Amino acid sequence: MPRALQDVVFVDGVRTPFGRAGEKGMYAQTRADDLVIKCIRELLRRHPELPKERVEEVAIAATTQIGDQGLTLGRLAGLLSGLPATTPGYSIDRMCAGAMTAVTNVASSIGFGAIDVAIAGGVEHMGRHPMGEGIDPNPRIVAERIVDESALVMGKTAENLHDRFPHITKDRCDAYAVTSQHRLAAAYAAGKVQPDLVPVATRHVERGWGLATVDEPPRPGTTLEELGALKTPFRPHGNVTAGNAAGLNDGATACLLASQTAATELGLPVGMRLVSYGFVGVEPEVMGIGPVPATEKALRQAGLTIDDIGLLELNEAFAVQVIAFLDHFGIADDDERVNPWGGAIATGHPLASSGVRLMTQLARHFEEHPDVRYGLTAMCIGIGMGGCVLWENPHHADYGKES
């Protein structure tokens, strides 16, 4: 029997406040899986109209799948979140785009008609599990020159991107980073960020009990002068610093996706509709360029151009990577359509969780901008990849019509 494809909608998304990795961070002695479980429970709490047995899949990403981030995390997190034993789950690893891939995977299942409702998300506890912990890369990948040795260190790949685009200066990256910090501070002051945050109870042997309610990484008073004085750890006299790159962070995200038919049946809200997505591979030593061809692919599949995109949520792994994207598409560094609430340089980037943060924020932006029909979420991915997902705004007058 021929199978009709279904429209896929993003219903809602939440996240924990993001913390600083390490013993001084607020999640130092909090389990990674408990962070994502908290997010799943919050989604279920916010949507009592959704019977738990209607959730047909749980896909959870982690870059370092070890310890409390391992053992088929999607399945265990689903069970510990109170979902019935009949709800299956699985784990995903596409490094920084883990949660983004969790979304596109379950969305594909929904679009195909295999399921109707799913939860996707990601978690990274970089304090407990530094990126690369316990791995053993095949030495042939460097010895046989399949990749440059620098490809295995993300900060070095960012310096390589500066080499490829020398007009993207350190000063320009620092200015972009300051803007990110200021935009996040303004969004917090306006109360825009807080509704998406799930408070997390924490416990520390020495510091006792606590409650995480806001992001820990932001430095709202950051100045250009302060950033200019920072060291360049990946290269002497380089361009990449702790100030113009995302830090090492802990945190989790989760979102609810459904077919349009199921959303209507159950009375679920629609935050945005999936239009298309694209993942690509690029030279691993300049992995930061990945969002450019990924976005071109997603746009091509949708029959759209960058001029059709009114809002952009770009993951700020490194300022140079975002600026390379903006330059390619002729967008100004300070364009207000890009990361209106700041980005990962300010908020933090707990690797595999970040894709859903981008999507949740884009859905919120759509609510505030019914004049914008299309938006995108995009990010670079370690070992030389890029990902982009295009979305349609349900608040736009032409929503659902043929372009």
- 345-380: per-residue pLDDT in tens? 999 999 999 999 999 999 999 999 999 999 999 999
Output phi, psi for 241, to 5 deg: -130, 175
- On whether residue 343 sits in a domain, the answer given is yes
- On whether residue 310 sits in a domain, the answer given is yes
- Predicted confidence band of residue 402 (pLDDT cuts 50, 70, 90): confident
Q: How far apart are CA 97 and CA 271, in angstroms?
A: 21
pLDDT value at residue 4: 81
- On whether residue 43 sits in a domain, the answer given is no
Instruction: Give the percent of the chain with pLDDT over 70.
Output: 100
Instruction: Give the percent of the chain with pLDDT over 90.
Output: 93
Q: How far apart are CA 256 and CA 51, in angstroms?
A: 13
Q: What is the mean pLDDT of residues 132-139?
A: 87
What is the chain's Cα-based Rg? 20
- On whether residue 179 sits in a domain, the answer given is yes
Q: What is the pTM of this model?
A: 0.97
Residue 172: which CATH number? 3.40.47.10
- Predicted confidence band of residue 133 (pLDDT cuts 50, 70, 90): confident
pLDDT tens digits, one per residue of 29-41: 999 999 999 999 9
Report whether pLDDT(403) > 70.
no
pLDDT tens digits, one per residue of 103-114: 999 999 999 999
pLDDT value at residue 204: 92
Which residues are identified as catalytic?
96, 349, 380
Indicate the number of domains in the chain: 1
Output phi, psi for 11, to 5 deg: -85, -55
- On whether residue 340 sits in a domain, the answer given is yes
- Predicted confidence band of residue 233 (pLDDT cuts 50, 70, 90): very high
pLDDT value at residue 142: 87
- On whether residue 177 sits in a domain, the answer given is yes
Report whether pLDDT(52) > 80.
yes
pLDDT value at residue 135: 85
Q: What is the mean pLDDT of residues 19-24?
A: 96
Output phi, psi for 56, to 5 deg: -105, 0
- On whether residue 295 sits in a domain, the answer given is yes
pLDDT value at residue 3: 74
- On whether residue 168 sits in a domain, the answer given is yes
pLDDT value at residue 116: 98
Instruction: Provide the domain limits for residue 298.
Output: 140-192+274-392
Query: Lowest-confidence range among 36-45, 63-72, 290-299?
Result: 63-72
pLDDT tens digits, one per residue of 165-177: 999 999 999 999 9
